[in-house]
Amino acid sequence: MIYILHKKIELEIIPHRFEEIDLEYALDEVLEIASIGKPQIEKLTQELLHFFIEHPSNDPYKYILTSHATRFIDFLGNKLFNEHKHFPLRKTFQNYGLFKAKKVNDITDFKVWYENNFKNSSRALIENHLEAFKDVINESIIRLNKIISSPDNIAFQNLDEFTKLFRDSISRSKEINETLQLSGNLKGQIRIVVEYFDNKVTSVDHILVKKDPQVLEILKEDYDTALRIKSEVFNFFDVIKEKLDQIIDRYIYADKQLANFKENFRTRTQFQRNLRKFLEANLQAAVYDRNEGIRFFKPLKLKSVPEESFKYLNVKRYDSFIKKKSFVLEEEIDPLYALEQMKSASIALDKQEEVARQLNILKINLSKQIDTDLTKEFYRLLKETNDEKVSLKVVFDILKYVSKHKEYDLKIKQDIPEKYQNENILIWQMNIMQKQ
């Protein structure tokens, strides 16, 4: 659509400042050649307004193409017609790209060369040639792929003829490579220029700088500018070399494959035919099932691969083409382990019950007696329950109980009564007194 609008403006069919009706007509023309559904013109206009069209100042009802749109058209033109590729690369580069360092007297000379002879001329030309070479190789590869994938024999007959065209296409790289070699000379001249500006900084007259410090600043600026130009030019050639190598790699690979293919022509074509049939047979043998996903209903032998699991979490593999379901997974029970756990749980419960029972008895006794000998109670418990943990827990809980109730006093004598001195567990003499 942008191309149509641009062309109409160029041919003066519509004015430079066009209207919405012109957009609609351009869209109609697009729809005549492209089989797409008709989009809403308002929506499309909004989309184009971002980058490709804009309202001219003081005229909100008209449109103009943006500079981005113009660049886009230029790019398309280069891509589709690649007019630049017809310019002789090496000769143009020799005439405009190269220069003699001794002709550069000040930074303006160098800047003028960079802007006019390099950036807008040689660089664009090299890029366009590279782009054209890339297109040729890419198109050739697409065509070669099509020829050998074609099920009919007619395409194969064209293979020999096309092979010659394909092998000729590499000659385009020769001119780019020669130009890159010439860039060595250019780089040498640029190094001289940078050194020239560097020398100007280092050899500046100190008396002059003292008088006017601005002099040194200007020289440094010139040197920085020269350095920037150097780095941009050098980087450009590095990138071009890299891109060229990539394209040549693609060519070499394709050429090698071509030789392989020709050598094994019969086996390869037979194999590809069989592979096609094998795909068809597998597709025919498969069925989509809502519950099981895609499965073979014919007895096709599935092949195995190792899949050792190195994770503790082993997630079961489900065929992904299945309608998702939720499952309740029953836990597997090991009866021996469960019995053991039951037993230990029941022992623990029994102990808790015993602690509670003994604690209650002791609390009742406390309320009835004025002086309770806790040490004696502890050894009594130890004897009755034969479980030191229960006895200790009861004593510990009763001490907590006493500390919270003001009607009791706890007396601790830091002595071990004589009659208990042979016991395995020794505790001080403790008495709980009921306040009067």
Partner 1 sequence: MADEHNAEAVNKHFIDVFKTTDVQKHFADLNIELLRGRHIQDDAHYFHRLLSKYYIEFKKYYEVFYNLLLDKKTFEGVSYFFLTFSEDSKGVLSATSRHRDLTAVETIIAITLLQMYYEKYFDNVKEISFLDIKSKIKESEFSHLYKTVFFKNGSRDNFTPKEWSNVTKNFKNVIQDFEQLGWVDNVIQKGENDFSFTIRESIHRFQTMYEYEISNFEEFVNNLDQSKDE
| Shortest reach from residue 232's CB to partner 1, in Å | 30
**Is 131 within 8 Å of 79 (Cβ atoms)?**
yes
Task: Of 263, 277, 262, give the one whose Cα is nearest residue 148.
Answer: 262
Q: Which is nearer to partner 1, 120 or 145 (CB)?
A: 145
Cβ density class 362-384: b for 16+ within 10 Å, e for less: beeebeeeeebebbebbbebbee
**Closest distance to partner 1 from the beta carbon of 68 (Å):** 23
Task: Name the residue nearer to partner 1 (CB basis): 66 or 269.
Answer: 269
Q: What is the dihedral of CA 4, 6, 8, 14, to 10 degrees?
A: 120
Q: Which two tokens stand for residue 184?
A: 């060595």
Cβ closer to partner 1: 32 or 332? 332
Q: What minimum distance in Å lies between the beta carbon of 80 and partner 1?
A: 23
C-alpha–C-alpha distance, residues 381 and 383, integer Å: 5
**What is the crossing angle of helices 335-368 and 388-404, to 10°?**
40
Q: Which is nearer to partner 1, 75 or 296 (CB)?
A: 296
Query: Which residues, in sequence order, are bridge partners of residue 373?
Result: 431
Side-chain-side CA neighbours of residue 1 (13 Å): 19
Cβ nearer to partner 1, comparing 167 with 357: 167
Kindly state the smallest distance separating residue 251's Cβ from partner 1, in Å: 9
**CA dist list (Å): 179 to 74, 88, 90, 186:** 24, 11, 5, 10
Q: Tell the smallest beta-carbon distance from residue 289 to partner 1 (Å).
A: 9
What lies within 8 Å, CB to CB, of 192 at 6+ separation is 101
Interacting residues with partner 1 (CB under 8 A): 141, 144-145, 148-149, 249-250, 253-254, 256-258, 260-261, 271-272, 274-288, 293-296, 298-300, 302-310, 314, 317, 319-321
Closer to partner 1 at the Cβ: 87 or 321?
321
Query: Do 111 and 229 contact (CB within 8 A), yes or no?
Result: yes
Q: How far is the CB of 63 from partner 1 (least distance, A)?
A: 30
Least Å distance, CB 149 to partner 1, is 5
Nearer Cβ to partner 1 (148/433): 148
**CA dihedral sign of residues 341, 342, 343, 346:** positive
67 or 309: whose CB is closer to partner 1? 309
Indicate the residue among 261 and 420 with the shorter CB distance to partner 1.
Answer: 261
Alpha-carbon dihedral sign for residues 128, 132, 138, 141: negative
Q: How far is the CB of 286 from partner 1 (least distance, A)?
A: 5
d(CA 137, CA 146): 14
Q: Are 173 and 247 in contact (CB under 8 A)?
A: yes
> In the bound complex, what is the minimum distance in angstroms from residue 167's beta carbon to partner 1?
13
Task: Supply the minimum distance, in Å, between the C-beta of residue 270 and partner 1.
Answer: 9
From the CB of 153, what's the least distance to partner 1, in Å?
A: 17
Q: Is 177 exposed, middle or buried (0-12, 13-18, 19+ CB in 10 A)?
A: middle
102 or 146: whose CB is closer to partner 1? 146
* N-terminal to C-terminal alpha carbon distance within the chain: 107
Could you tell me which residues come within 8 angstroms of residue 188 by beta carbon, excluding any fewer than 6 positions away? Answer: none
Provide the minimum distance between the beta carbon of 174 and partner 1 in the complex, in angstroms, as a whole number: 21
CA gap 393, 356 in Å, rounded: 10
Q: Which is nearer to partner 1, 296 or 396 (CB)?
A: 296
Asked whether the beta carbons of 172 and 132 are under 8 A apart, the reply is yes
Identify the H or E element spanning 128.
helix 123-149
d(CA 411, CA 108): 104
Q: Is the CB of 158 or the CB of 272 nearer to partner 1?
A: 272
Cβ atoms within 10 Å of 75's Cβ, excluding its own: 11
Indicate the residue type of 65. L
